[in-house]
Amino acid sequence: MHRAFDSASYRENGRVIARCLVEALHAHGVVLKHLKVLDFACGPGRVIAELAGATASCTLHGSDIDAQAIAWASQHLSSLAPFSTNTTSAPANYPDDTFDVIYSVSLFTHLDEAAQDEWLAEMRRLLKPGGVLLATTHGRFTIDSCAPAECLHQQRDGIVYQTDRKGRFKVDGLPDFYQTTFHTMDYVRRHWGRYFAIVEHVEGGLNGHQDLVVMRRPALAGAALAD
């Protein structure tokens, strides 16, 4: 979700995303103090760079499949977080029950249903009991980019995986499996709800564009993340 054409707007968009995430966490009682936080699909660390100012006592981590982006982040943002390269399949290189918070911006917006299931299960593994996952989807604010047949598919199934170009004709530099996915709120509630408690689904909750889904791994009674 770059939505930027120059370095200044790219950084500003990172600030807006970080602010949306912090506000969503605070709204659900998550105080960003002394927590372990993972940016999954972090790219070159744009959001971590902005989030660090609001999370001085937190331990931040970043992970992405893009080795070049991770190399840049490791060189330029090493004082903020350790960064690691993950593969296209689970597991990620972290132990069970590691993180209090995971956020994943503009990842599930590009994966097919099977890959989403795999990574939802993996993020459940990585979160501590009671931990919170923030993820974004393409909802009704973005559906205008779908063809009529794709809109009907989404209405029928709750999800549509829009395939554009692959192979040597895919000019964005991203892997073939990385296309564009659209979800309905009902699909997220029913399908993602198999892995997490769906706490809130805010249409356009990320910068008025992507939906923001707040989820929590089930915890023992009385467990909480807030101070």
Per-residue pLDDT of the chain (227 residues; tens, 9 = 90+): 455 567 888 889 999 999 999 999 999 999 999 999 999 999 999 999 999 988 889 999 999 999 999 999 999 999 999 999 999 999 999 999 999 999 999 999 999 999 999 999 999 999 999 999 999 999 999 998 888 889 898 989 999 998 865 545 444 555 566 789 999 999 999 999 999 999 999 999 998 999 999 999 998 644 444 43
Looking at the structure of the chain, the number of domains it has is 1
Please report whether residue 2 resides in a domain: no
Domain extent, residue 99, equals 7-216
How buried is 200 (Cβ within 10 angstroms: 0-12 exposed, 13-18 middle, 19+ buried)? Answer: middle
DSSP codes, 100-151: EEEEESSSTTS--HHHHHHHHHHHHHHEEEEEEEEEEE--TTTGGGS-HHHH
Please report whether residue 222 resides in a domain: no
Please report whether residue 226 resides in a domain: no
Q: Is the pTM of this model over 0.85?
A: yes
Find out whether 185 and 213 touch, Cβ atoms under 8 Å.
no
Please report whether residue 207 resides in a domain: yes
Question: What CATH number corresponds to the domain at position 24?
Answer: 3.40.50.150
Please report whether residue 87 resides in a domain: yes
Please report whether residue 104 resides in a domain: yes
